[in-house]
Structure 1
Amino acid sequence: MAPQQSATTARRLLHHSRPPARKRDAPALFLVLIAVCSAVTAANIYLAAPLLTLIARDFGSTPAGVAWIASVAQLGYAVGLLFFAPLGDSVNRRRLVGALTLVTTAALVAGAAAPGTGALAVAVFVASAATVIPQLLVPLVAERAPAARRARHVGAVVAGLFTGIVAARVLGSLAGQALGWRWVFAGAAVLTLGLGLATAAALPTARRPRSGGPFSGLATLPGLVRHSPDLWRACLRQAGMFGAWSAVWTSLALLLTGAPYHLSTATAGLFGLFGLTATAVAPLAGGLVDRFGAAKVVRSAYAVAAVSVPLFWAGGRALWALFLAAIAVHAALVASHVANQTLALTTTSTPAAANTAYVVSGFAGGALASAAAGPAFGHWGWGGVCAVAGAWLLAGWGGTAVRRR
């Protein structure tokens, strides 16, 4: 019996010694796929921003006259988050991601063929509303990550997301200058279809039990925010931070292609390379959150963002100031986002719904700031845009300065 027991024990040890190596590899590959998919899909939200000059020229308008399309994209994303992101707590993520991928692809193709600004705005709205895939995936990453490294994993996905935003500005403007803005939309459709379906195929099929209708989670969002002070604070602070970033970033092409710089669309798009700061900052911010907590990271991020506003104002005449401001505002935005989103994902028992409330708040703040920045640029120039950014920062921090009981 002893030899048999020894053999059985050896087989058990051998059996249990192999899977861990595969388990260590699979999450890393899975995280990379999610990060790349997030990059491609997030780029769709900002696809129109660097192409506004080309779109205006094609439709016989002015860049300021079509700037509202950029805010339509952010508003569409916020609406899509309200309806689709809470489903991550209850439905099959694989089917949902696959369906949203197909809708996004169809909308981008429609945008490429749009005969006017109205049709383009509708296509951009639908594409942005359906391209909420990253926010379905982030809660999954947070659930599967070890508690001690949760913020690092979230930061890795955020790095991919912001890399996509940079790519939308840089590669989109270069391709738009060379091929026309319609081919940029068509190329985005192809990339979205390929990465979206590949990610859907890799997702687990397990889902949580659902009570109520498919959109019942939407009704719980106000109460969820009201009863969670940490979530409420994260929502408001990120709305202020993202609004400040959106005001300057969606209007930057108008400054660079007009007086005093008069750059081409392609050259102005290269300015987005400063957004690569986000790719480096996100993993670092995740490590800092895991070590020091979210509150300290958010305070530091707001301080950096406050410094970036006067630098952006000076950048209306000095290109070096724009360089410094772009680095600072991206670092501040990403550090704040990683900290606030990690807090939102861990503060309630329904992470997908909490993440929905958080991201909707952020993008609603961004959409409102972008909508205000367009008229501000038209009336007061670049200084008006910087004033909008400063106002959003003050609102985001001042609204949470008093502790809630």
Structure 2
Amino acid sequence: MSRRLVLLLAATCAVVVGNVYFPQALGPLVAAGLGVSAGSAALVATATQVGYAAGILLLVPLADRLPNRRLLVALLVCTGAGLFAVGCAPALGPLLAAGAFVGVSTVAGQVIAPMAVGLVPPERRGAMMGTLLSGSIGGMLLARTFGGALGELLGWRAPYLVAAVLALLLAVVLAVALPEAAPRRRGPWQAPPVQVLRLLRAEPELRRSCFYQATVFAGFSAVWTCLALLVAGPAYGLGAQAVGALALVGGVTMFCTPLAGRLVDRYGPDPVNLVCMVGGLIAAGVLAAGAGGGVSGAAALVAGTLLLDVAMQSGMVANQARVFALRADARGRLNTAYMTCAFLGGSAGSWSGAEVYGRAGWPGVCALTALLCGLALARHLAALRGMRHAGAADRG
């Protein structure tokens, strides 16, 4: 792969992943613009994430059967059309439906990942995943900033319309720049849910990686879904633009994930997972100090969100490296199973975070995040003990 092509694929990941995240900065603006409650407006982010999980489940397995260039271009065209529909939605109901469609179609990044990993040697897979994930992180961070700033300037519809134009432009560029590739898999067709269930049943390492990412990503989504509600509330009294500015601090994560990829290539995914889960627990405690507002509270939010971002994204590099090493002929379907579980966890985290925030405020959201990261850590420690015992038995 040429460096230019790698950068183009990373930029594509940035744009399509950003479509999932910039609605998180628009909740208060959508609530004011449509005359609905803040909790109802927060459902827009949840609907997009639910759609994203459905798109991964239903569409990403096609990467093992269809030429990737045609599939990527078709997905980007559908994404652009969906974003235009969201930007023109007259009420909350059509907005949620169109947002879910955007989520379903904006899965091009999940098609790119298995395609790119298949083009590099095994000892470079972690580094490749780190590079692509850096692009995704850049899109995630800039999307929140872009959404918050443009939304406050021109209204909540403007970010969706601009994102639609970007998606359609990328479709044109990829149609010209990407080489066509033959399908990697033949044979009888099975429905994607059947394929996912078969892989989850057959691969214990896949199940383990799915559980890690689902729990940690649920805590991450709970924090970012409720962060806009916190900073717009009485403790801070700020607007959506502040959420975007806070998200920019996480730009450090773009430099951490390539490092995490190199560490995975050198030491394996398990030590990286362990550090990331402990980091998520610490981040939840730091974030809890942000409930009181003021300078100290803002500093806690900055430090906590940065640490949580690094922990979640670096853990994803480790998990995907473990998953892609399982079966070379099924990377699209393995990624489908993994990312479906991850974004179902993220969707559950967005919903449960909003529910907990309404009942227990920001401290409750931080406690929820700590619980979820703790569950992942407990499962990981049990797996490490099992591997040590198995190794001792083999040596005996």
TM-score higher than 0.5: yes
Structure 1 Cα separation of the partners of residues 27 and 133 of structure 2: 26
- Within 5 Å, which residues of 2 pair with 1:21-100? 26-100=1-75
**Which of the residues 158, 162, 165 maps onto 2:140?**
165
The Cα of 1:268 is off from its aligned counterpart by: 2.8
The Cα of 1:400 is off from its aligned counterpart by: 4.7
- Within 5 Å, which residues of 2 pair with 1:186-197? 186-197=161-172
Q: Which runs of 5 or more residues in structure 1 are unaligned?
A: 1-25
Would the aligned equivalents of 1:277 and 1:330 in 2 still touch at CA under 8 Å?
no
Tell me what 1:18 maps to: none
Asked if residue 155 in structure 1 is aligned to residue 130 in structure 2, the reply is yes
Structure 2 Cα separation of the partners of residues 200 and 252 of structure 1: 38
Q: Secondary structure at the match of 2:39?
A: coil
Tell me what 2:354 maps to: 374
Tell me what 1:12 maps to: none
Structure 2 Cα separation of the partners of residues 339 and 297 of structure 1: 6
Structure 1 Cα separation of the partners of residues 252 and 63 of structure 2: 30
The Cα of 1:401 is off from its aligned counterpart by: 4.2
The Cα of 1:89 is off from its aligned counterpart by: 1.1
**Which of the residues 331, 334, 342 maps onto 1:354?**
334
Deviations 1:207-260 (A, max 9, x none): 1242223x5343121121222121111110011111111110121111011120
Deviations 1:96-122 (A, max 9, x none): 111111111111000000001111111
1:160 partner amino acid = G
- Within 5 Å, which residues of 2 pair with 1:153-302? 153-201=128-176, 202-213=178-189, 216-302=191-277
2:130 partner amino acid = G
Would the aligned equivalents of 1:101 and 1:197 in 2 still touch at CA under 8 Å?
no
Would the aligned equivalents of 2:226 and 2:354 in 1 still touch at CA under 8 Å?
yes
The Cα of 1:137 is off from its aligned counterpart by: 0.4
Tell me: CA distance 1:183–1:347, structure 2 relative to 1, closer, same or farther (3 Å): same
Structure 2 Cα separation of the partners of residues 140 and 227 of structure 1: 23
Q: Which runs of 5 or more residues in structure 2 are unaligned?
A: 391-396
Would the aligned equivalents of 1:257 and 1:268 in 2 still touch at CA under 8 Å?
no
Would the aligned equivalents of 2:280 and 2:308 in 1 still touch at CA under 8 Å?
yes
Deviations 1:271-325 (A, max 9, x none): 1112212211111101110111100000000011110001111111211111110
1:69 partner amino acid = V
2:373 partner amino acid = L
Range that drifts further, 384-393 or 242-251: 384-393
Tell me: CA distance 1:36–1:384, structure 2 relative to 1, closer, same or farther (3 Å): same
1:276 partner amino acid = G
Tell me what 1:338 maps to: 317
Tell me: CA distance 1:287–1:262, structure 2 relative to 1, closer, same or farther (3 Å): same
Would the aligned equivalents of 2:24 and 2:144 in 1 still touch at CA under 8 Å?
yes
Structure 2 Cα separation of the partners of residues 295 and 197 of structure 1: 40
Would the aligned equivalents of 1:91 and 1:210 in 2 still touch at CA under 8 Å?
no
Structure 2 Cα separation of the partners of residues 357 and 191 of structure 1: 28
The percent identity for this pair of structures is: 32
Structure 2 Cα separation of the partners of residues 161 and 396 of structure 1: 23
Q: Secondary structure at the match of 1:315?
A: helix
Number of residue pairs aligned between Structure 1 and Structure 2: 379
Would the aligned equivalents of 1:101 and 1:196 in 2 still touch at CA under 8 Å?
yes
Structure 2 Cα separation of the partners of residues 268 and 102 of structure 1: 29
State TM-score, norm by structure 2. Answer: 0.92
Asked if residue 388 in structure 1 is aligned to residue 368 in structure 2, the reply is yes
1:208 partner amino acid = R
Would the aligned equivalents of 1:37 and 1:196 in 2 still touch at CA under 8 Å?
no
Q: Secondary structure at the match of 1:316?
A: helix
Tell me: CA distance 1:217–1:120, structure 2 relative to 1, closer, same or farther (3 Å): closer
Structure 1 Cα separation of the partners of residues 157 and 179 of structure 2: 32
Asked if residue 108 in structure 1 is aligned to residue 108 in structure 2, the reply is no
Structure 1 Cα separation of the partners of residues 59 and 67 of structure 2: 12
Tell me: CA distance 1:84–1:323, structure 2 relative to 1, closer, same or farther (3 Å): same
Greater Rg over alpha carbons, structure: 1
Structure 2 Cα separation of the partners of residues 200 and 84 of structure 1: 19
RMSD over aligned Cα, in angstroms?
1.5
**Which of the residues 123, 126, 136 maps onto 2:98?**
123
Tell me: CA distance 1:334–1:182, structure 2 relative to 1, closer, same or farther (3 Å): same
Would the aligned equivalents of 1:108 and 1:186 in 2 still touch at CA under 8 Å?
yes
Asked if residue 325 in structure 1 is aligned to residue 300 in structure 2, the reply is no
Structure 1 Cα separation of the partners of residues 49 and 179 of structure 2: 26
Tell me what 1:364 maps to: 344
Structure 2 Cα separation of the partners of residues 368 and 40 of structure 1: 24
Deviations 1:51-104 (A, max 9, x none): 111100011123223112211111110000000111111111111111111111
Tell me what 2:394 maps to: none
